[in-house]
Amino acid sequence: MTSLPLIAALQTCVGARHVLVEPTDIAPFMRDWRKRYVGQALAVVQPATTAEVAAVMRLCHAHRVAVVPQGGNTSLVGGAVPDTSGQQVLLSLRRLQHIRAIDRANLTMTVEAGCILQDVQIAAQDQGLLFPLSLASEGSCTLGGNLASNAGGTQVLRYGNARDLCLGLEVVTPSGEIWHGLSGLRKDNTGYALQQLYIGSEGTLGVITAAVLKLFPQPRTVMTALASCGDIKQLVTLLGLAQTQVGAALTGFEVMGALALDLVRKHCPQLPQPLPPSPWTVLIELSDADNDVHAHQRLEDLLGQALAEGVIADAAVAMSGAQSQAMWHLREAIPLAQALEGLNIKHDIAVPISAIPAFVAQTDAALHQLLSGVRLVTFGHLGDGNLHYNVQVPEGGDAASFLQAHEAAVNAVVYDAVQRFGGSISAEHGIGQLKKEELAQRADPVGLGLMRTLKQALDPDNRMNPGRVIAASPGVA
């Protein structure tokens, strides 16, 4: 069938003004967050309800057209833009933005996939509750994308990632059926946990349209501090000490290497840095139901013991909400500072926390041997074993040429080390287009086969976000 009948049918389904076909109209949806991938779609379709999503999927199924779901378009692995064929429909879920219900007694919230993460946080806060998923892109990313990519963020240490914060889903299948799985139950042993198939599937199995999320009581007190030391081994020791001393109150444990903060100092000079430069700095956050005085004392005791034992060299405690935010701004400014410095080779990896010092030491040495003068920007969520291990061009070099010439070799060094230490090549960003070949080469063959079996069973025609994560079967793009 030609595209014209499909476009006309889509216009009837969702309204003509919600089917975009002009190049200038669809352009904002075609380029990924990192500006690495640029696609071309047959149309951008913007349904407003789950019923409309289902109708769109039925039409695309009948016309044998592939569908690429997109939320806030903040994927860092090219997971939410179409290919260059101009034959795929981009399904934008931004109009599905209702918070359907908040159940205070059950500590749950039912939200639609297009809800901005920050809006969900605020809605929970207005009820005196907490939705703890927190990302640098929370002002623009959407819940559907967060779940489809199993997003992590800064509070995984205490609350888990997106998978841990979701109880139930509503999903539209590739053929346009609706699975009504919006359960708020914490215990439900009636067969397979189907929602877990779709969380982290990056839109390759179906379209998430709504979810039931876990909520938590708002902490009475939040305490933030920065601490510095000369060795990442000491930070692992500090993490263990903090877990022993404050237990579940430990909410954040974010590590920042010297070069990461140097770039912030260079490109964001307006951000105060309360500690002098050090090889490693960690941001520690405690949140507690206890009062300010007791929580502050627990943090002071932790830092005092760490100083006395030589685990850290210096520390600064935030004495107000503004100072706490300023400390977080340092951590959150690192990706921006890196971008302003120029293109870089990004790695979102995880290794067991106990292996992080050896991983960093060995991989740093291997990369310096491979490329003299290369700059290593290491930061991330040490508390859950997730590092953003990024490689910046040597000072004064051309970033684009550096990436073209060395990205494959750098990736091989980093991912070989990750594999050697029993880690993951994607901790929280997903696979998308960027890491699909790495996954095919490095994943356990049996696990890869099981994933292909699931893809073939749920999307036999390979029309859900094709070319992402995994092929339906060997040799299929």
Question: Domain of 16: which CATH number?
Answer: 3.30.43.10
> What's the domain count of the chain?
4
User: Which tens digit of pLDDT belongs to each residue from 108-139?
Assistant: 999 999 999 999 999 999 999 999 999 888 99
| Same domain as 365, residue 307 | no
Could you give the C-alpha distances from 40 to 97, 211, 300, in angstroms and in order? 25, 30, 55
* Residue 303: partners with Cβ closer than 8 Å, 6 or more residues away: 225, 227, 312, 315, 317
Of 420, 444, 472, which closes a domain? 420
| Same domain as 172, residue 79 | no
Task: Supply the pLDDT for residue 292.
Answer: 67
User: Which tens digit of pLDDT belongs to each residue from 47-95?
Assistant: 999 999 999 999 999 999 999 999 999 998 999 999 999 999 999 999 9
Pairing of the two strands 88-92 and 67-70: parallel
Task: Supply the pLDDT for residue 137.
Answer: 87
| Same domain as 172, residue 107 | yes
User: In whole numbers, what is the pLDDT of the chain averaged over residues?
Assistant: 94
User: Which tens digit of pLDDT belongs to each residue from 303-318?
Assistant: 999 999 999 999 999 9
In-domain check, residue 462:
no
* Residue 21: partners with Cβ closer than 8 Å, 6 or more residues away: 7, 42, 43, 44
In-domain check, residue 416:
yes
SS (H, E, C) 233-261: HHHHHHHHHHHHHHHHHEEEEEEEEHHHH
Of 405, 420, 435, which closes a domain? 420
| Same domain as 236, residue 204 | no
In-domain check, residue 404:
yes
Q: What is the CATH number of the domain that holds 374?
A: 3.30.70.2740
Domain extent at residue 378:
342-420
Please give the backbone phi and psi of residue 129, each rounded to the nearest 5 degrees, phi first.
-120, 175
Using CA atoms, how far apart are residues 376 and 360, in angstroms rounded to an integer? Answer: 10
| Same domain as 301, residue 277 | yes
Using CA atoms, how far apart are residues 62 and 89, in angstroms rounded to an integer? Answer: 13
User: Which tens digit of pLDDT belongs to each residue from 244-273?
Assistant: 999 889 999 999 999 999 999 999 999 999
| First-last CA distance in the chain | 22
User: Which tens digit of pLDDT belongs to each residue from 365-389?
Assistant: 999 999 999 999 999 999 999 999 9
Strand locations in 12-106, DSSP E? 19-20, 41-45, 67-70, 88-92, 99-103
In terms of Cα–Cα distance, which of 384, 421, 293, 397 is closest to 345? 397
* Residue 75 DSSP class: -
Using CA atoms, how far apart are residues 459 and 69, in angstroms rounded to an integer? Answer: 14
